Amino acid sequence: MVIKKVHAREILDSRGNPTIEVEVFLDDGSIGRAAVPSGASTGSREALELRDKDPKRFKGRGVRKAIANVMEIIGPELIGLSVFDQEFIDRKLIILDGTPDKSGLGANALLGVSMAVARAAAVSLDLPLFRYLGGVTAGELPVPMMNVINGGRHADNNIDIQEFMIVPAGASSFSEAVRMAAEVFHTLKEVLQEKNYSTSVGDEGGFAPNLVSSKEAIETILHAASRAGYVPGKDIFLALDPAASEFYSDGIYHFEGEDMTASQMVEYYADLVQKYPIVSIEDGLAEDDWDGWSILTEKLGERVQLVGDDIFVTNPAILQRGIDKGVANSVLIKLNQIGTITETLATMRLARKAGYTTVLSHRSGETEDTFIADFAVGTQVGQIKSGSLSRSERVAKYNQLMRIEETLKEAVYPGVEMYRKYIR
């Protein structure tokens, strides 16, 4: 089937900011639609998200230029191309953009087209998206990391660590994992209320109470997990995303009222890992602190999953540098950090070859599009983070994964096997 028309429009994301939605029309009448998410604690080397900067529209955050690039530049070039040649189309997008950071046409313009092409192809073949992406081998659900307490840039003035996630690895299926996490989430609300904390939620749907420290956040979550009837370290584990680039300046980490060196931060994490059932720490140190990351990996790389988000930005060349230097042991995968499906898959392949795990991620500004749920199963990514158990744009991904699990006769949920090395 060939592409007949490409359309783009401005829609809103979960923060009420404009974002781009793309539709790809085929000659057989199939339509593929995809919407692009947007980050807040972005890595400085992410592909460029094109914004109009017209102060009269959306305070300068409009995406009309990116839309014009899709309609006037990209669209005409794709007419008549086979929708099944994803790689060829993505390479064409990269060439049309013509810059290393996608600033020519905008990574948001490119990714919207790249994802809508995959969707249209799946629709044309009458296949679920995960099946189109993964073929007959797609049969494994990811372990979810659910962000139940939001701090850092995702909530106003509470604790410095951005994400406190529960990992229901002890479940025997994805849907059981979701149920367990939802029960813990509701119990956490009760516990916070008893402590007279606010139960309003942050950008990713986790609670955003004014806790005094990250340790208090961890202990409150573990208390809620136990009260909900689960055993921390057996049923429920923890994952953190400090997003440390956000509290790093001039070589110092300004953390919980103290100025800390990278080594002191590593000691702090070592203590947390020792005391609590933490299986994963993402962006424990800042994106430019490669020496610090080496210390972190040397000290904790055998004890906990160390995920690089801001430091690698889903970029194969930067990840290669990390692999060469022995930095981290896992990579966060965000499609809009690099801009096309083909490049995202290249990063994932590279990670696997080097023995790094992969964690697929939403952005803090999301849409109702559930593309990443299908992408997680299609690529057998292993783990996914899509926020909390409130806010529909987050839950939509978990719900789609439960639908996929139901359609698979022999669905595999990796569960605790994912963290076997780290569980004591």
Are 18 and 10 within 8 A, CB to CB?
A: yes
- Alpha-helical runs (H) found in 60-204: 64-68, 75-78, 86-97, 107-124, 129-134, 174-194
Q: Is 256 annotated as a binding residue?
A: no
Choose the contact partner of 209 out of Mg ion, ligand PEP, none; CB within 5 to 8 A by kind.
Answer: none
Active-site residue (options: 23, 102, 140, 334): 334
**CB of residue 237 vs ligand PEP: minimum separation in angstroms?**
18
Q: Does 61 bind ligand PEP (CB under 6 A)?
A: no
The span from the CA of 104 to the CA of 292, in Å, is 33
Among 47, 63, 100, residue whose Cα is nearest residue 334: 47
CB neighbour list of residue 29: distance below 8 Å, 6 or more residues apart: none
CB within 8 Å of 85: residues ≥ 6 apart: none
Q: Which does 357 bind (CB under 5 to 8 A by kind): Mg ion, ligand PEP, none?
A: none
- Segment 20 to 39, residues that bind ligand PEP, using CB under 6 A: 39
Give the range of 93-101, 109-117, 241-249, 295-303 binding Mg ion by CB under 5 A. Answer: 241-249
Q: Binders of ligand PEP among 233-292, rule CB under 6 A?
A: 241, 243
Q: Is the dihedral of CA 309, 311, 315, 318 positive or negative?
A: negative
- Taking the least distance from each CB to ligand PEP, the nearer of 7 and 15 is 15
How far is it, in rounded angstroms, from Cα 214 to Cα 368? 30
Ligand-binding site membership of 241 (annotated): yes
- 40 touching ligand PEP, by CB under 6 A: yes
Choose among Mg ion, ligand PEP, none what residue 97 binds, the Cβ cut-off being 5 to 8 Å by kind. Answer: none
Q: How far is the CB of 352 from ligand PEP (least distance, A)?
A: 20
Q: How far is the CB of 332 from Mg ion (least distance, A)?
A: 6
Q: How far is the CB of 41 from Mg ion (least distance, A)?
A: 6
Closest approach of Cβ 197 to ligand PEP, in Å?
23
Binding mask 282-311 for Mg ion (x = CB under 5 A): -x-------------------------x--
Please identify which of the residues 21, 23, 46, 204 carries the catalytic annotation. Answer: 204
Does the footprint of ligand PEP cover residue 48 (CB under 6 A)? no
Is 374 annotated in a binding site? The answer is no
Query: Smallest Cα–Cα separation from 340: which of 118, 125, 142?
Result: 118
116 near 36, Cβ under 8 Å?
no
Is 215 among the residues known to form the active site?
no
Run of H or E residues at 319: helix 316-325
Query: Under rule CB under 6 A, how many of the chain's residues touch ligand PEP?
Result: 10
Q: Where are the alpha helices (DSSP H) in 234-279?
A: 262-275
CB of 158 to Mg ion, least distance (A): 17
Please check if 309 is assigned to a binding site: yes
Distance CA 223, CA 220 (A): 5
Question: Catalytic annotation on 334?
Answer: yes
Residue of 151, 172, 264 lying closest to 216 (CA atoms): 151
Contacting residue, 30, 41, 220, 329, with ligand PEP by CB under 6 A = 41
Query: Measured from the CB atom, is 183 or 309 closer to Mg ion?
Result: 309
Binding mask 347-376 for ligand PEP (x = CB under 6 A): --------------x-xx------------
Start-to-end C-alpha separation, the chain: 52
- Total residues at interface with Mg ion (CB under 5 A): 4
- Torsion sign over Cα 381, 48, 65, 4: negative
What Å distances lie between residue 341 and 114, 170, 348, 390, 415, CA to CA? 6, 31, 11, 28, 26
| Annotated binding residue 154 | yes
Q: How far is the CB of 4 from ligand PEP (least distance, A)?
A: 34
Q: CB of 357 within 8 A of CB of 305? A: yes
Residue environment code for 224-251, b if the CB has 16+ CB neighbours within 10 A, otherwise e: bbeebebebbebbbbbbbbbbbbbbeee
Q: What is the DSSP code (8-state) at residue 246?
A: G
Is 214 among the residues that bind ligand PEP (CB under 6 A)? no
Binding residues for Mg(2+): 241, 282, 309
Binding residues: 154, 162-163, 241, 282, 309, 334, 361-364, 385
Active site residues: 204, 334
Residues in touch with ligand PEP (CB under 6 A): 39-42, 241, 243, 309, 361, 363-364
Binding residues for substrate: 154, 163, 282, 309, 361-364, 385
Residues in touch with Mg ion (CB under 5 A): 241, 243, 283, 309
